[in-house]
Amino acid sequence: MSGKVLEINDLHMVYSGGVHAVRGISFNVNEGESVAIIGSSGSGKSTVLRCINRLIEPTGGEIYLKGEQVNTPHTDINNLRSRIGMVFQSFELFAHLKVLDNVTLGLRQVRKMSKREAEEQALAVLERVDMLDRIDAYPGNLSGGQKQRVAIARALAMKPEVLLFDEPTSALDPELIGSVLKTIRGLADEGMTMVVVTHEISFARDVADRVIYMDQGVVAETGPSSIIDNPETERLKKFLSSINEEN
Amino acid sequence: MHEAESGLPKAAEGQGVARVVAITAVILLVAGSTPGQASGFTSGWEVVESGTSEDLLTAANFGGQVWAFGTGGVILNSIDNGISWENTDSPTTSDIRYSDSDFGSLIISGDSGLVLLKSGVDAEWTDISLPGDSQVNGISLTGGQSAIAVGNNGTIWELEEGEWTEISLSIESDLLGVSFIDENLGIVVGSDGTILFSDDGGENWEYREAPEGASDSNIVSVEFYSSTRIYAITDDGSILISMSNVVTGTDVGYVWTLVEFERHYPPGTNEYILGPENLDVELTSVEVVSTSKLLMTGAGGYLSMSINGGTIVSQQINPLGNETSFNGIVMVTGFTGIAIGDGGSILWTDNAGADDQVGFVVPEYGNFGVFVDETKEMFLSGFIATLKIVAFGIVLGFFLGVTLAMCKTSPTSLRYIVERYEPRNVRIVGIPILGAGIFQIYSAIPGTTDLGLQGIEYIFLPVGAPESFLRILLGIALTFVGLLFLSNDGEFAKIRIKSISLNPWRVRPLNTIATVYTDFFRNTPLIVQFLFIHFGVRLGALIQGPGLDIFSFENLEGNHNFLTDIFARYDYSESNYGTLVGGVLYDSAFISAICALGFNSGAYQCETIRGAIQAIPSAQMEAGRSIGLTYLQTMRRVIMPQAIRICIPPMGNEMVNLVLNSSLAMIIGYAELTRQGKLIVASTFQYAYAWGMVLISYFVVTWTLALFLRWMEEKTRIPGLGMTGGN
């Protein structure tokens, strides 16, 4: 594990309504590392993730991508975003484009590739997520799991330096979660740097190199994935037990 | 499943096409199966007995009587406006060819230099003949005892106090006609397009240039009708006209133009020859009855009338057949008068010779077949005109609508603009902006106070001083921005006044501009917008002028194509080479109509499209941005393609509204369908038929449009995007 890909220092986010969602969070993500952020809803997990590629403008703190500061007005944010892949909870595929075009759009428009080049690269990524057989389908005709895999392919096609997953499985039926998790696990095994916000505790335990537990906008506990089995703080214990009750 | 989905829309599409074909077929059948109309005409001229068989060559009104003169020195006179005639004693046996009456005198001239003058109805003829070898081609009185006569080889004789003097002009052309309106102003015409003008009673003559196309013609007759109008005719069937021009301050007689014929009606028919180059007859005389009403005679029994200065000429039925040639017309009133011709022929009329229709005077418009047959051309031209403004209006409206909707949804706020800069720099930039704002307001004040408005009257300031008003608006905006920039401390805080809190940094300039635009166009009546844009701003004319400079005939000649034809189409056929015949720039009312329709529709379409944009989940924008697309790229590639699909149904409403609103273009004189309908009603009085046909025509247009949009909807439908109620 070499070099920090992401560095987050004292991140604050106050929404315009006055909600202080993130209150000074700092963590690093190293090359090839997969970090899982867990926590109850409203704890600020997704806000942190969205701050990283500035879909939300953080109100304080610094974010660096490979040493380059993300949150200054002077950064070329479009270029930076193209280096940070993002997968959304509800997929957000472009409904009017076929699967293949969803994946090639960024390559054509941002990377300025030729149609042939873009399609080659897209097909390679779609093969990785096992969606080669549906490249001509519209998103509306795909199942949730398929959609999410296409969304992963769309992010992956840009060859990002880090992939952000915003609760990638929480909008899926339980039987469809498996295929998506398998895909993400495969990416982790290949050494993709990832930050995963998730409710899948078992997934966090199995895949993540490191787990960050957030509560009320701060990091309540952090450590290797083993902390899920042996939580140190009361808050994490309580959180884990409440989840186990649900299951 | 997938195949079934793509199959269904095709079936629906097939149905739509079949419907269109069926409707078209019905329309064609209706148009094709209407019976023709049978009608007949009788001549408006009545043959009266002259009591002579000599050829009558000239006639005049004199002393409340009508006089006719002819070969062998025959002199006829009528005291009842030309109905009965009496042969009077003649002091000559020479042929009398020309006559003129004015200033209480009557003068006639004829062969062998014959000139006779009568200084009152009861006075005897005075012989004031020219030398026997003189050939007089025309004569005109310039006073009770003075006259001008013209002859071959540029000869002009001037009569003063019983003495003739010859004025030598060293012209080789034969002079063929002369006409004076008073003692001073006179005009002489002749062969090879000769036009001479005198303003001193005929002492001195100046050349006037004949219009292009008449410079080789023989101008055979002229009538100096009034201080605003002179008409002349040529023996190759053209009419020349000279008018005074109030705008340029040009007096009559200076500028001559050839009358452009729009229609020439052969005798006894309603079917005309469109835009003939000339009347295809050797014209012999012209009688001007009023400023724009003239009667003409020509070889081969030609008699005709025009009531609009010659552009539409109706040839009249000659009751004596085409063997009898007529040599002159004299009108006692605007409608009563005589035509005189060979073999002692005299025709009398009390309706200016206009043909009387027999059978039914007016086509039987109550018969729907006849009605359709008579009016279908007008309907068709209105229909096409409507389609034209609708097509251009939709394009302009859609373009404006998309642009405005993008502006309205643009997130670019003042904060967004400045937050990447140091607060200190923003404050420095604020100073000149504030200064410029205050200057704009200050400099606009004189323009507003000069108007002398009081109180509530200031609401009309934008009309009275548009420039000052715009300066004040701009000044207020700049002052606001300047003050805001000056207060920038990097915090972008809200301003709180008691319970109200506002954040001026969230003002979005593009949104503000677009909102002002849409609010204005949606809160004023379209018909007033039409009137203001066409007559107030004169936008059509403002665009037409510079537009035609760009799309001028010189620029397009040789490299015109279908694109330039949209703007300006010229006639490249031999007859009217280089005349503008079509295109958007052809008609300023057309341009104004497109603009008014497009501007108005753009405001409404903007709201429709904005609604659709706002219906797209904001996460789609986030998804687009997250792969590195810029805001505009995401709008173009992700948001708009989905938004446009969503707004096709409400856009259908807008398009249909635009078609229906196009009927208001009649108010600015654009000849679209409703205006044509109104004109048809005015001439046929068939209210139900005309307005019913107009209704159906609009229905055909809007329904076709609706079918097209329905087809578009099917065609562009994306599985899984929105609830469609169908597949």
Q: How far is A215 from chain B (nearest CA, A)?
A: 25
**Taking CB atoms and an 8 Å cutoff, what residues of chain B touch A14?**
none
- A66: which 2 tokens? 């490979």
Nearest in space to B668 (alpha carbons), one of B596, B611, B717, B561: B596
A90–B626 C-beta distance less than 8 A: no
Q: How far is A235 from chain B (nearest CA, A)?
A: 32
CA torsion sign for A68, A71, A72, A73 is positive
**Taking CB atoms and an 8 Å cutoff, what residues of chain B touch A73?**
419-421
CA–CA separation, B506 and B495 (whole Å): 11
The SS3 of residue B570 is strand
Q: How far is A95 from chain B (nearest CA, A)?
A: 6
Nearest CA in chain B to A82: B628
A68: in domain: yes
**Taking CB atoms and an 8 Å cutoff, what residues of chain A touch B643?**
none
A212: in domain: no
Task: Write the Ramachandran bin of A121: left for phi over 0, alpha for psi from -120 to 50, otherwise beta.
Answer: alpha
Length of chain A (residues): 247
Q: How far is B626 from chain A (nearest CA, A)?
A: 6
> Within the 56-115 window of chain A, which residues sit less than 8 Å (CB to CB) from chain B?
73-74, 78-79, 81-86, 88, 90, 92-96, 105-106, 109-110
> Within the 582-621 window of chain B, which residues sit less than 8 Å (CB to CB) from chain A?
617, 619-620
Contact B539, B546 (CB under 8 A): no
- Please give the domain boundaries of chain B with CATH numbers for all domains: 91-259 (2.130.10.10), 413-507 (no CATH)
Contacts of B289 (CB under 8 A, 6+ apart): B295, B331, B334, B337, B352
Report CA A123 to chain centroid distance, whole Å: 22
CA–CA separation, B169 and B171 (whole Å): 5
Residue with tokens 């002079």: B175
Which is more confident, B554 or A91? A91
Q: A143 burial class (0-12, 13-18, 19+ CB within 10 angstroms)?
A: middle
**Among partner residues B2, B620, B719, which is closest to A92 by beta-carbon distance?**
B620
**DSSP-H helix ranges across B33-91:** none
- Please write down the HEC assignment for all residues of B576-598: CCCCEEECHHHCHHHHHHHHHHH
Whole-number pLDDT of residue A29 = 93
Q: Domain containing A54 — which CATH number?
A: 3.40.50.300
Phi and psi torsions of B148, nearest 5° = -125, 130
Complex ipTM: 0.93
**Taking CB atoms and an 8 Å cutoff, what residues of chain B touch A155?**
626-627
Q: How far is A110 from chain B (nearest CA, A)?
A: 6
Q: How far is A78 from chain B (nearest CA, A)?
A: 5
Contact B578, B570 (CB under 8 A): yes
Helix (H) or strand (E) holding A46: helix A45-52
The interaxial angle of helices A144-157 and A115-128, nearest 10 deg, is: 130
> Within the 622-651 window of chain B, which residues sit less than 8 Å (CB to CB) from chain A?
622-630, 633, 637-638, 641-642, 645
Q: Does B412 touch chain A (CB under 8 A)?
A: no
A43: in domain: yes
**Among partner residues B2, B619, B637, which is closest to A141 by beta-carbon distance?**
B2
Mean pLDDT, consecutive 10-residue stretches, chain B (727 aa), reads 42 57 61 46 83 88 88 88 86 88 88 86 85 85 88 86 82 88 89 88 85 85 88 90 82 86 80 82 88 86 86 85 84 87 87 69 78 88 91 93 93 84 88 93 85 83 86 92 86 75 85 93 94 91 86 77 80 74 83 93 94 92 93 93 90 90 91 91 88 92 90 83 60
Q: Does A154 touch chain B (CB under 8 A)?
A: yes
Q: How far is A217 from chain B (nearest CA, A)?
A: 23
Nearest CA in chain B to A111: B628
Instruction: Return the exposure string of B618-641: e unless at least 16 CB atoms fall within 10 Å of the residue's CB, then b.
Output: eebbbbbbbbbbebebbbebbbbb
A137: in domain: yes
Q: Does B2 touch chain A (CB under 8 A)?
A: yes
Name B157's bridge partners: B149, B166
Q: Does B490 touch chain A (CB under 8 A)?
A: no
Nearest CA in chain B to A137: B2
In a mutagenesis test of the B interface, which of A75, A81, A94, A161 is the best target, namely the one with the most B β-carbons within 10 Å?
A94
Domain that holds residue A158: 4-197
CA torsion sign for B327, B331, B335, B337 is negative
Q: How far is A174 from chain B (nearest CA, A)?
A: 22
**Among partner residues B1, B637, B719, which is closest to A138 by beta-carbon distance?**
B719
In a mutagenesis test of the A interface, which of B627, B645, B727 is the best target, namely the one with the most A β-carbons within 10 Å?
B627
Q: How far is A75 from chain B (nearest CA, A)?
A: 10
Name the residue type at position A193: T
Nearest CA in chain B to A89: B619
A73: in domain: yes
Average pLDDT value for chain A = 90
Whole-number pLDDT of residue B84 = 86
**Taking CB atoms and an 8 Å cutoff, what residues of chain B touch A141?**
1-2, 719-720
Nearest in space to A149 (alpha carbons), one of A160, A159, A133, A162: A133
**What Rg do the C-alpha atoms of chain B give, in angstroms?**
37
Total domains in the fold of chain A: 1
Size of the A and B interface in Cβ pairs below 8 Å: 85
**Taking CB atoms and an 8 Å cutoff, what residues of chain B touch A81?**
625-628
B2–A137 C-beta distance less than 8 A: yes
